[in-house]
Structure 1
Amino acid sequence: MKNKYSDEDYLLLSGIQHMAFCERQWALIHIEQVWAENVRTMEGNHLHERTDNPFEDETRKDVRAVRAMPVISKKLGLRGIADVVEFQRTNDVLAGVTLRLKNRKGWWRPYPVEYKRGRPKPDDRDAVQLCAQAIALEEMLGISIESGFLYYGQTRHRVEIAFTQELRAHVEQLAGQMHKMMAEGKTPKAKKGKHCSLCSLKEICQPDLTIRHRSVKEYLARMVDLEVKDY
């Protein structure tokens, strides 16, 4: 596959979840380099601690788990780290689906596994991140991956995600938007909704101000001007 992105053009794969949640959140984090911790992000970081040991390799019977595996997609222009990639052994040879692993017998099918705090979401923000990992793995391994798993810390349960054509198309659309916005270097105005209460950047984002078409900078300047006049 011809690489249309240079090394400096690659964006963080994990950012596709931010883009699916809110374009402004993605821009604040990835263009303006702003970040803030809340209970949800702290819990998410804690949940990832057990997976973030680069290249840790664990084999249990017919499953090999590779933790913190670097992945890259030339098609999407994204790179990042997959929490866990599980390789499940099978006796069946499936062309374009199974592969050989060095120093291990049999044929193996890879499945990306992403760890998340809380419960399954009502939208596909977690699924697009998992699917983007699968697309990267497909390019790297030369096979196709039909599904992967999202593990939720609150429910302690896995949810299988099918990588449908619709989901793949959404991933490509989001990745394209990420590159477009990064090239433009502009942060969009807020679109206030129920999701704002779940955002760790709510206080920085100031959705009420931007919806009234005032930037934070303009708001502060106006407040200073009022104070001077009152004095």
Structure 2
Amino acid sequence: MILYDEDEFLQLSGIQHFAFCRRQWALAYIELQWVENIRTAEGRIMHERAHDSGFDEKRGDILITRAMPIHSRTMGVSGECDVVELHRSQDGVPVFGRTEKYLPVPIEYKRGRPKEHNADALQLAAQAMCLEEMLCCDIPFGYLYYGETRHREKVEFDSGLREEVKRIFEEMHKYCRQQYTPKVKISKSCKACSLKDICLPVLNKNPSVKKYIENKIHEKDDME
């Protein structure tokens, strides 16, 4: 089993960017280029509120902690959980200052609404896997809270999702070692990307010969 050193750790939150667009992740995390738009600004503000560690609290049998630092040496990542609910359970783990045992349940805050892809679920599962490694426990589920719907979605951490998390982190480490930025793959999501002006998807994509000839024919027709 490979165990990463701390100086090799990647940012855990990068998995959602990598799953959404590998080029976006490389531009932001390898080339260190980032531009904020309204979506990223709203998301940042929501996370700042969720990460306010001054608001740790207890609600019945649930302890709520915010901005919990997490890491995994087996996956080579580190980050923070927005919120971790500790549910009192016989199957849980000891908590400092408490006589009862608690089961950790990670909760990730997102500004928008549930998406068609599973990038958010991958990030949440990665958080759970870090907590499992740190606390020596099993975490079967967590929640994604969406700001637009003001509703949270339960995510089951099945074996398929866990294997995908591991595979993606391995790929991210490979890209990082090689300092590799993938070429452009244009999609409908490009228009909403905060890095579209840096990425320049239309200019960076080499057109096929057929497309080039068609464009030239259209240009000639327009001139006539």
- Tell me the TM-score normalized by structure 2: 0.88
Query: What is the CA–CA distance in structure 2 between the aligned matches of 1:3 and 1:183, rounded to whole Å?
Result: 15
Deviation string for 1:47-85 (max 9, x for gaps)?
112122247521111111110000001111000011011
Residue number in structure 1 paired with 2:168: 174
The within-5 A match list for 1:30-179 is 30-54=29-53, 56-90=55-89, 93-94=90-91, 98-179=92-173
Residue 207 (str. 1) matches residue 201 (str. 2): yes
SS class of match (2:142): strand
Q: For structure 2, which runs of at least 5 residues remain unmatched after alignment?
A: 208-224
Query: What is the CA–CA distance in structure 2 between the aligned matches of 1:108 and 1:193, rounded to whole Å?
Result: 43
The within-5 A match list for 1:181-196 is 181-196=175-190
Equivalent position amino acid for 2:122 in 1: V
1:106 deviates by: 2.5
List, as ranges, runs of 4+ consecutive aligned residues in structure 1 with deviation greater than 2 Å. 53-57, 102-107
Query: What is the CA–CA distance in structure 1 between the aligned matches of 2:140 and 2:54, rounded to whole Å?
Result: 23
CA RMSD of aligned residues (A): 1.4
Q: For structure 1, which runs of at least 5 residues remain unmatched after alignment?
A: 214-231
1:107 deviates by: 2.3
Query: What is the CA–CA distance in structure 1 between the aligned matches of 2:99 and 2:167, rounded to whole Å?
Result: 39
- The 3 A distance-change label for structure 1 pair 69 and 55 is farther
Q: Percent identity?
A: 47
1:3 deviates by: 5.8
